[in-house]
Chains A and B, each alone.
Chain A
Amino acid sequence: MRVFKIVAFLLVLSGLMLFTATAQAPLVRLAIPTTERALTPYTYNTGFPGWYLLMLVYDALMVTDLDGVPRPWLAESVRVSPDGTVWTLTLRPNIRWHDGQPFTSADVKFSYELYQRVTHPRFSGPLRGVTVETPDARTVVLRLSAPSPIFDLTLADTPIVPKHIWEKAPDPKTFESPVGTGPYKLVQIVPDQFYRLEANADYFAGKPAVQALVLPIIRDATATFTALQAGQIDAATRTLTPELVAQFQGRPDIKVLSGPGFVSTLLLFNNERAPFTDPRVRRVIAGAIDFNELVRTILLGLGTVGSPGFIHPSSPWYNQALQSYARLTPEQANRALDELGYKDTNGDGVRESSDGKPLRFELLTRSGDPVRIRAAELIAQAVKPLGIVFDVRALDSDTVAQRVWPDFDACKGRNYDLAIWGWSAPVMTQANVRGLFHSDCKLGTLNVVGYANKTLDGLLDRQAQTANREERKRLLDEIQKIVADDAPFLTLFYPDLIFAVRPAAYDGWAFLKGEGIIHKLSFVKR
Chain B
Amino acid sequence: MKSVLSIIGLVILGALGGIAIFTPAPYDPHERVSAPFQPPSPQHWLGTNDIGQDIFSEVVHGTRTSLLVGVVAATLAILLGVVVGVTAGYAGRSVDTLLMRVVDVVLVVPFLPLMILLGAYLGPSLITVIAVIAALMWARPARVIRSQVLVLKNLAYVEAAHAIGGSFWHLLRRHIIPAIVPLAMAQLVTVASSAILIESSLAFLGLGDPVQKSWGTVLYYAQARGAFLTGAWVWWVLPPGALITLSVLGFALVGYALERRSNPRLRHH
Chain A interface residues toward B at CB < 8 A: 222, 225-226, 229, 241, 243-244, 247, 297-298, 300, 367-368, 370, 373-374, 377-378, 381, 392-396, 399
Contact = CB atoms under 8 A, between A and B. Distances in A.
Given A243-B50, A370-B221, A392-B211, A222 B123 contact: no
A70 B146 CA distance: 75
Nearest to B223: A222
B229 A244 contact: yes
Contacts of B51: 297-298, 374, 377-378
Interface string B207-250: 10111000000001101111011100000000000000000000
Nearest to A241: B226
11 contacts: A222-B223, A225-B229, A229-B229, A241-B225, A243-B225, A367-B210, A370-B220, A373-B211, A377-B51, A394-B211, A395-B123
B32 A394 contact: no
The interface size bin for chain B is: 20 to 34
Nearest to A367: B206
A370 B225 contact: yes
Top-8 shortest CB links A-B: A370-B224, A394-B210, A396-B120, A244-B226, A367-B206, A243-B226, A392-B211, A222-B228
* Max count, chain B CB within 10 A of own CB: residue among A300, A373, A378: A373
B244 to A, nearest CB: 20
A393 B210 CA distance: 9
Contact of B226 (A222, A377, A392, A393): A222
Contacts of A370: 50, 210, 220-221, 224-225
A373 B211 CA distance: 8
Contacts of A394: 124, 206, 209-211
B36 interface: yes
Say what secondary structure dominates the interface of chain B: loop
B52 interface: yes
Nearest to B220: A370
Contacts of A226: 229
B123 to A, nearest CB: 6
Contact of B230 (A243, A378, A381, A393): A243
B36 A300 contact: yes
Contacts of B221: 370
Contacts of A222: 223, 226, 228-229
Contact of A368 (B32, B50, B206, B211): B206
Nearest to A366: B206
Contact of A300 (B37, B210, B224, B228): B37
Contacts of B209: 394
Contact of A244 (B52, B124, B220, B230): B230
A194 to B, nearest CB: 23
A191 B120 CA distance: 29
Interface string B176-220: 000000000000000000000000000000110111000000001
Given A367-B207, A370-B221, A395-B124, A297 B226 contact: no
A226 B223 CA distance: 13
A297 B32 contact: yes
A247 B230 contact: yes
A378 B53 CA distance: 12
A15 to B, nearest CB: 33
B36 to A, nearest CB: 6
Nearest to B49: A374
Contacts of B50: 243, 298, 370, 374
A394 B225 CA distance: 17
Contacts of A247: 229-230
A370 B120 CA distance: 17
Given A243-B50, A297-B51, A298-B51, A399 B230 contact: no
Contacts of A374: 50-51
B37 A243 contact: yes
A374 B37 CA distance: 14
B52 A367 contact: no
A254 to B, nearest CB: 12
Given A243-B50, A394-B124, 5 more contacts: A222-B229, A381-B32, A394-B210, A396-B120, A396-B207
A399 B207 CA distance: 13
Given A373-B211, A394-B209, A394-B211, A367 B230 contact: no
Given A222-B223, A243-B225, A367-B124, A297 B36 contact: yes
A288 B123 CA distance: 29
A147 B52 CA distance: 51
B153 to A, nearest CB: 47
A297 B209 CA distance: 22
Contacts of B52: 297
A298 B224 CA distance: 13
A229 B36 CA distance: 24
A519 B224 CA distance: 27
B101 to A, nearest CB: 33
B260 to A, nearest CB: 42
A393 B123 contact: yes
Interface string B17-52: 000000000000000100011000000000000111
A368 B224 CA distance: 9
A118 B211 CA distance: 45
Nearest to B212: A394
A373 to B, nearest CB: 5
Contacts of A395: 123-124
A244 B123 CA distance: 31
Contacts of B210: 367, 370, 373, 394
Contacts of A373: 210-211
Contacts of B207: 367, 396
B56 to A, nearest CB: 19
A377 B217 CA distance: 14
A89 B229 CA distance: 50
Contacts of B206: 367-368, 394
Given A374-B50, A378-B51, A399 B120 contact: yes
B230 to A, nearest CB: 5
Contacts of B124: 367, 394-395
Contacts of B120: 396, 399
B53 to A, nearest CB: 10
A144 B211 CA distance: 51
A297 B207 CA distance: 24
A476 B32 CA distance: 39
Nearest to B211: A392
Contacts of B228: 222
A392 B209 CA distance: 10
Contacts of A241: 225-226
